[in-house]
Amino acid sequence: MEIFIAQIINGISLGSIYVLLVTGFNLLLLVAMIIHFSFPIVVVLSMYVSWIVLGLTGNNIFLGVIAGIVSAILINIITAPMFQHIMKKRGDVDINSTMVLSMGIGMIITDFLSHSVNSGFPIAFPDNLTGRNLGAFFQIGMISISRGDMISLSMGIVFVLGLFWILYKTRAGRAFRAIAEDPAGAKLVGIPILKTGLQSYAMTGVLGGVSAVSIAILLGSASPGLGDQLGHKVLAVSIIAGLGNLKGGLIIGILLGILEALVQGYWSGTWSNSIAFVVMLLAILIKPKGIFGIKL
Amino acid sequence: MNRQNETILKVDDVYLSYGHVEALKGVSLEVKRGEIVVLVGANGAGKTSIMESILGVYQSRKGTVTFKDKNVTNLSADKIVRKGIYLVPEGRGVFASMTVIDNLLLGAHHNLKNAKAKLTYVYDLFPILSERRNQIAGTLSGGERQMLAIARALMSNPEMIMVDEPSIGLAPKIVSDIFKILKELNKEGYSILLSEQNVYKALKLSHRGYVLETGKVVLTGTSEELLINPEIRKAYLGA
């Protein structure tokens, strides 16, 4: 029972990262009309930037965190004009073309990370960021939650709540959801499509930065292949929940995190990815349109 | 608001094509302040196309649209909405996954400051929407959706409302209710451009009408004139 509780807590903190990434992916898909499955790869690049800055500043946490978030926003701004060009010509350009652009961005980043940073070896984040050296944040019997887990868990909860608050309680969020449900109809009722698309793009930049920091704290390391791995999961969660289904993504994201944590707790960490995908494969076979239905 | 006989909207020689299909071939029409003007015509005659080109959804190839003496040709839809034109789309265009109140607030997207007062105003006009404010719009009946679409238009603080085929798919009793509402709104000072298949009811409601065929205005006149026009009676009124 104690392992179970510990792993549920771990699962929620891992799951909240998936939720941030999946929601970012869904927003880009629905509002900006960008199929950006390399979004998690961009997030991993921000983790690397944060790591480099930590190295240069003698592990100054504040600067490291700022670097992670700012770099995600910067990468976002730099890549925006390319996507914006496609968004402007939405009527004429197939949105599948954004997929090619995303793929290209992903490949360049992964290639760069595997050749030019740390000779392609995995990077480890310093203890003062992850809190590993301080031992458990609290320990009751066999339940032991590290300080890092606690921070990433609280960050995850705060930002997921904040994100859904923006989506469901603000003017911009209302416009996001309207465009997500019916882009042509949203245009008819006077919502500026391009501007709102750019807003959603900017928001995913911030989300990406927060996720980067959160992943760094939770996993404590990163490798060039991490982005691909996360990318696959984000795409899978998004499709299993029902492509574009924001609330579905929230639930499935958390469930995937818990599933992985339980496999790690009771069986073997090395198998958690494969098992996660077997379960997701079964889910998609049973519910081909996603558990909560496609919202496109 | 009541400067009668002042032209609020003027559409002059507008051409619009979707790819190779010419939807509008030189349409001209005008709406005066405080008028209800109806567009009559079969499916594909260009009624929706006129409304969508006024709203700036599609760029017209030629011609001008003037609203309150300002040239608004080919401005984007969100800018046109700010100028005071709002469309109640065919099929209502209500966002089914969102609540009634969210749908209403979308109408005031460009002007949320006055949203509270506007909400009180539309709830007063449509008490049923007030009752269902937190309900998902997808669960509303057809008539309620049409009311929601009209209420959303009012939220935008418009001077002219374009209403595209409001009676489609509604029971006759509900259609009468909707037409009553439009008449009320018109009395309050809103100019209305209406497109309608129910020609008799629409002409009874409106001041003037334009008859469209394949993207052109073929006939225009006051509603009384049109109601007794033999061609209209033959083609649309089954007499």
Q: Where does B144-231 show beta strands of DSSP type E? A: 160-164, 191-195, 208-213, 216-222
Number of helices and strands in chain A (H, E):
12, 4
Spatial separation of the C-alpha atoms in residues A235 and A240, rounded to whole Å = 9
Amino acid A274: pLDDT = 85
The answer to whether the Cβ–Cβ distance between A181 and B98 falls below 8 Å is: yes
How much is the average pLDDT of A59-76?
A: 90
Q: d(Cα B197, Cα A125) in Å, to the nearest integer? A: 68
pLDDT at A245: 85
pLDDT digits (tens, 9 = 90+) for A68-82: 999 998 888 888 888
pLDDT of residue A91: 60
ipTM above 0.85, yes or no: yes
Q: B93, A178: Cβ pair inside 8 Å?
A: no
* B93 pLDDT above the threshold of 80: yes
Phi, psi of B25 (to 5 degrees): -120, 70
The whole-number pLDDT of residue A280 equals 84
Residue B231 burial (C-beta neighbours within 10 Å; 0-12, 13-18, 19+): exposed
pLDDT interval class at B159 (50, 70, 90): very high
**pLDDT for residue B1:** 45
What's the CATH number of domain B1-84+160-239, 3.40.30.10, 2.70.98.30, 3.40.50.300, 1.10.579.10?
Answer: 3.40.50.300
B37 touches B54 (CB < 8 A) = no
Chain A hits for B95, Cβ within 8 Å: 177-178, 181-182, 185
What does the domain layout of chain B look like in residue ranges? 1-84+160-239, 96-157
């929230």: which residue's tokens?
A250
Q: Calculate mean pLDDT across residues A132-160.
A: 77
Residues A190, B96: C-beta atoms closer than 8 Å = no
CB contact under 8 A, A175 and B76: no
Architecture of domain A2-286: Orthogonal Bundle (1.10)
A202-241 pLDDT tens trace? 888 999 999 999 999 988 899 999 999 999 999 999 989 9
Phi and psi angles of residue A136, each rounded to the nearest 5 degrees, phi first: -75, 145
| Contact assignment for B107 to A181 by CB distance below 8 Å | no
Q: Would the pLDDT of B239 be above 70?
A: no
Nearest CA in chain B to A247: B97
Residue from B231, B230, B168 nearest B201 by CA? B168
Among A123-137, A173-187, A244-258, B9-23, which stretch is predicted with the lowest mean pLDDT?
Answer: A123-137
Chain B residues 178-237 with a CB less than 8 Å from chain A = none
Residue A86 has phi, psi (to 5 degrees) of: -70, -40
Chain A neighbours among B 36-55 (CB < 8 Å)? 52, 55
The answer to whether the CB of A42 falls within 8 A of the CB of A109 is: yes
pLDDT of residue B167: 92
CA distance B234 to A121: 82
User: Looking at the predicted structure, is the pLDDT value of residue A4 above 90?
Assistant: no
Pick the range with the lowest mean pLDDT from A166-175, A275-284, B223-232: A275-284
Token pair 């976002």 in the structure block, residue: A76
Q: Which residue of B has its CA nearest to A190?
A: B78
d(CA B71, CA A96): 37
CA distance B149 to B122: 11
Instruction: Give the C-alpha distances (Å, rounded to integers) separating A10 from A2, A65, A147, B90, B98.
Output: 12, 22, 12, 50, 33
> Measured between alpha carbons, how far is residue B82 from residues B37, B90, B109 in Å?
22, 21, 10
Inter-chain residue contact A192 with B76, CB threshold 8 Å: yes
- Residue A71 burial (10 A CB sphere; 0-12, 13-18, 19+): buried
